[in-house]
Amino acid sequence: NAGVTQTPKFQVLKTGQSMTLQCAQDMNHNSMYWYRQDPGMGLRLIYYSASEGTTDKGEVPNGYNVSRLNKREFSLRLESAAPSQTSVYFCASSSLAPATDTQYFGPGTRLTVL
């Protein structure tokens, strides 16, 4: 099992460009999440999908859109990238809500917006 995979691993964008971060899990998990991690700020939840067909906003959703393509895949789209979106992005998945189940994280995507 690969667990949670993310592509790409690194990306450099210019302000205003768009891109989609891909995430897939092979653990048959119901729930998937997108976080961003910035120095000195821990991880902040952008969007989550509690189950296939549903998505909800997290703490910092502005400037992002998500798609739960199927049970395995959850993508994050930046429509018009801004320097403030320079960060490390992590996808995670869990079978149940995190309090009662383990959240497994992918290796991250390092995004720089110039």
Nearer to another protein, 59 or 79 (CB): 59
Contact flag: residue 43 with another protein (CB under 8 A): yes
Which structure tokens are listed for 29? 């998990």
Contact flag: residue 53 with another protein (CB under 8 A): no
For the chain, how far is it from start to end, CA to CA, in angstroms? 36
Contact flag: residue 50 with another protein (CB under 8 A): yes
Nearer to another protein, 26 or 79 (CB): 26
For another protein (CB under 8 A), the number of binding residues is: 28
* Torsion angle (degrees, nearest 10) of CA 74, 86, 111, 109: -50
Contact flag: residue 106 with another protein (CB under 8 A): yes
Nearest to 68 by CA among 104, 102, 34: 34
